[in-house]
Structure 1
Amino acid sequence: MFDLSNMGIGYGSLAMLVSMILLLLTGMQLAFVTGMVALVFALGWFGVDALPLISSRLYSFVGSYVFLAVPMFVLMAALLDRSGIAKDLFDAMKIMGRKLRGGVAVQTLVVAVILASMSGVIGGETVLLGILALPQMLRLGYNRKLAIGTTCAGGALGTMLPPSIVLIIYGLTASVSIGDLFKAAFVPALILALCYMIYILVLCRIYPEYAPLPTDEELAKDRHVNFKKALLFPFLSVATVLGSIYTGVASVTEASALGVVGIIISAYIRGELNFTMLKESAQATMSTCGMIIWIGIGATALVGVYNLMGGIDFVEDLILNLSGGSVMGTVFIMMLILFVLGMFLDWVGVALLTMPIFVPIIINLGLNPIWFGVVFCLNMQVSFLSPPFGPAAFYLKSVAPKDISLGEIFQSLFPFICIQIVVLTLVIFFPSLSLWWQ
């Protein structure tokens, strides 16, 4: 049996990283890469005696009761995607913002906030806005880059706004209250959305041609929308899910189940519920959750092995030495690492690979892990939009008009990425923005 322990933790860490990069370059899925590297290093470093420890760690991850909230919220997003609730909501909000220059773009963000508060899943929301909002803004004569950037950045708000799946996964890996994370993320998410809106309004004020106002004839065409039908169900859903969590009536897991029931009842009342809708929603949920679970299993095994190797102490010493012992320097090095990883890896992998290592360091520095969870989510916001592999851009490209290239989408996102970095910096330097409720 080969013995890897002789190389020491420094070279062992480097060998582990290089092995992962080489396997990822072959096209192998992240879940299998992390699982294979974990198995090789577990056997090579400790022998077969380490395997029961790793398997117990995997069981604690997949057996967590809170983890049930993930498929429930994904199912909510899938049902929402296949109902007419989002379309009616957008049509109603569009009318309310038509008389304001840039109003349709602003209302697109308002709809994005509402949809994010209903599901917390980024992919479905970006696709929905790409289908509903982007063609409308382009038809109304909005500047292409403004319309594209607004749609894509708005869709990514699901990363931050409760009930965000990112926050749930962070809470599981960091062993902190998910309810507290939801409270902490709410204000920073709204600040980010408001900054987007202010940017749009100021830009349209400077360049009026970016957002033409509609004619009276165009306004008259939109007056047939039933506002009661369009607004009732979304606001009831948001009130049920978030209201039950914030008031303490239900846990996050119970609230997610209430949300699914609420969407199903809403679809039934609207006459949209059918077997095909339920079947397609269930299939989409199984596909998404299967990906999350397998990445989680591989990443949990890898981090477990690395912890046994002494990896946490090694990384902590390395980061503290690079930062010169500065607390803020340490945080910014972590942010840089997360940003780089987010450019190439799925957020689930980033969270499960780094948070078990970073969170103990944050706690040892006397910082609040709830605050760090919000900072982590803001960092992932940036990675969702950043080239070369920003997933939000690819989601939008899948439904955007054919003449809109991926390069144009990334160019359109640059001002919104700058806004995200500004808000991220604010929350880092002013933790009270996320800890206001304590």
Structure 2
Amino acid sequence: MSYGMIATMMFSLMMLLMATGQRVFAAIGAVASIAAILLWGTGGAEIPFTASMKLMNWYPMLTLPMFIFMGYVLSESKIADDLYKMFHVWMGPMPGGLAIGTIGLMVLVSAMNGLSVAGMAIGATIALPELLKRNYDKKMVTGVIQAGSSLGILVPPSVVLVLYAMIARQPVGQLWLAGIIPGLVMATLFIIYIAVRCRINPSLGPVLSEEERNVPMAEKLRLLRAGLLPLGIFASMMIPFVNGWTSLVESSAIGAMAAFLAAILKRRMTKQVFENSVRSTLAISCMFMWIILAALGFGAIFDGLGAVKSIEHLFTEQLGLGPWAILILMQLSFLVMGTFLDDTAMLVIVAPLYVPLVNALGFDLIWYGVLYTVTSQIAYMTPPFGYNLFLMRAMAPPQISLRDIYGSVVPFVGIMVFALILVMVFPSLALWLPDYVYGK
């Protein structure tokens, strides 16, 4: 049996196991372990051991629990609620203002947590009821929350980009910096769309009533200070890192400690909040550790089989495709996989194949990491089986139907595709900031 056939069988078996509902790391790790032993006998047992050594020796991995803890502390202590109150008061007097404020909320939540699911949960539980209560169009606001949550894995500290960095062997700091400008560009495009649409049709996003707008300036300033606290925490860890005063791990520790102290100073760090934050941090961190371990083992076997070279030969020599045609086909495959897999599963399944291929084609792996994150979020929101669509269905109130959810994402998916094309055509959108910071 040829090595190409063995690689195909491994990939097919892994997909079959995942289709039966097995955990991602279990399906990938089981296939990798079984293939290693069958191919190389007892010596194959060294592959997962070597992968675990790589994982434990990768110093930037310490940032993962730090940033997850920071996000959960800010969420559990309800500091995220202060953000929405700030946007409610300051943005409510303009048409579509609360929807625009929700996008701002999502950007800051992304900077607090780095997980798209966290943004979806906060948007659906805090913003959505308030928007519906004030007669905002249910179809539009459902799309706003889904689109805003897509920023979670692009704006630093993105947990998924940490995973990509480990698999692609790229610096986490450069990947995070690469995601900032594309993430802000996408958020700006969302805001422009909402503002223009509500200006044309004010009934989609009516302004607040006179009674709600009549808030004393002292109260507005108090809410502004409270709402900007998470932004201050983000700045406290990113400014020293960008200026080279601290390492990435040290910055993550500063962020976690700043969030913890903020919760204490606001008298919200109860025993329950601390326990929930630690438990959630441990659960998420361990999940990502297992996934990375399984992905490293699976990738090592694929490297040993020469599967990447076989795929490169198929595309470039047998099919005669150019580098850009191959890249576009790879992005389209993410859209297909995103209908039934989450972003983490997509990455660990195809990274052993795609990352070396992207490198062989001459593309920048930092830039490609941004392309992957944007494309995976588009896949999340693409009917009929987008992951975010069903997550919203589970969180939305009964008056929002699945049909409403499907229809709500269409304009936002179009905006995200446009943003993806911008990053592909102008790679400097992703590469300028990391080149500037690391070149100093």
Q: TM-score, with normalisation over the residues of structure 2? A: 0.92
Among 335, 342, 352, the alignment partner of 1:339 is 335
Aligned to 2:256: 260
In 1, Cα distance between the equivalents of 2:295 and 2:216? Answer: 50
2:384 maps to 1:405: no
Number of the residue aligned with 1:135: 129
Distance of 2:179 and 2:159 partners within structure 1: 12
CA gap 1:221/1:425 in 2 versus in 1, 3 angstroms? same
**Alignment partners' CA distance in 1, 2:335 and 2:265:** 44
Match of 2:25, SS state, is: helix
Q: 1:237 to 1:392 in 2, by over 3 A?
A: farther
User: Aligned residue for 2:142?
Assistant: 148
Q: Does 1:19 align with 2:13?
A: yes
- Of 357, 360, 363, the residue aligned with 2:356 is 360
Offset from partner CA, 1:7-32 (integer Å, 9 cap, x none):
11232222122212222232222211
- Report the CA distance between 1:363 and its aligned residue: 2.2
Whether the 8 Å contact between 1:319 and 1:333 is mirrored in structure 2 is no
Query: How many Å apart are 1:220 and its aligned residue?
Result: 2.3
RMSD, matched Cα: 2.0
Match of 1:82 in 2: 76
Of residues 376, 382, 400, the one that matches 1:380 is 376
Using the size of structure 1 for normalisation, the TM-score is: 0.93
Whole-Å separation in 2 of the counterparts to 1:74 and 1:323: 44
**Aligned residue for 1:212?**
206
Q: Distance in 1 between matches of 2:173 and 2:119?
A: 22
Change over 3 Å in CA distance of 1:321–1:83 after alignment to 2: farther
Match of 1:191 among 168, 178, 185: 185
Find 2:172's aligned residue among 156, 174, 178.
178
Q: Offset of 1:136 from its aligned partner?
A: 1.2
Deviation at 1:215, TM superposition (A): 2.3
Change (3 A) 1:237 1:397: farther
Q: Per-residue CA shift, 1:318-344, capped at 9, x if unaligned?
A: 333576231111111111222222322
For residues 341-378 of structure 1, the C-alpha deviation after alignment (integer angstroms, 9 at most, x for no partner) is 23222322222232233222222222211111111111
Residue 58 of structure 2: aligned partner: 64
Q: Say whether residues 1:50 and 2:56 are aligned partners.
A: no
Residues 278/214 of structure 1: CA separation in 2 closer, same or farther (3 Å cut): same
Quote the offset at 1:232 in angstroms.
4.0
Between the two proteins, the alignment pairs up a number of residues equal to 432
Aligned residue type for 2:315:
I
**Which position in structure 2 is the counterpart of 1:115?**
109
Determine the structure 1 residue equivalent to 2:245: 249
Consecutive unaligned residues of structure 1, counting only runs of 5 or more, are 1-6
Q: Note if contact 1:118-1:241 (Cα within 8 Å) is conserved in structure 2.
A: no
- C-alpha separation in 1, matches of 2:163 and 2:318: 28
Q: Alignment partner of 2:156: what SS?
A: coil
Letter in 1 for 2:408: S
Q: CA deviation at 1:406?
A: 3.9
Give the Å deviation of 1:228. 4.6
Structure 2: stretches of 5+ with no match in the other structure:
436-440
Greater Cα offset, 278-287 or 342-351? 342-351
SS of the residue aligned with 1:373?
Answer: helix
Asked if structure 2 preserves the Cα contact closer than 8 Å seen for 1:62 and 1:293, the reply is: no
Change (3 A) 1:102 1:108: same
Structure 2 vs 1, CA of residues 253 and 433 (structure 1 numbering), >3 Å: closer, same or farther?
same
- Quick check: 2:120–2:146 contact (8 Å CA) kept in 1? yes
Structure-2 separation of matches of 1:99 and 1:422:
30
Aligned residue type for 2:113: S
2:272 aligned with 1:276: yes
Which deviations, in whole Å up to 9, do the C-alpha atoms of 1:279-309 show, x marking residues without a partner?
Answer: 0111111222222222222222222112111
Structure 2 vs 1, CA of residues 111 and 65 (structure 1 numbering), >3 Å: closer, same or farther?
same
Identity score, percent: 30
CA distance, structure 2, for counterparts of residue 77 and residue 321 of structure 1: 47
The one-letter code sitting in structure 1 at the alignment partner of 2:326 is T
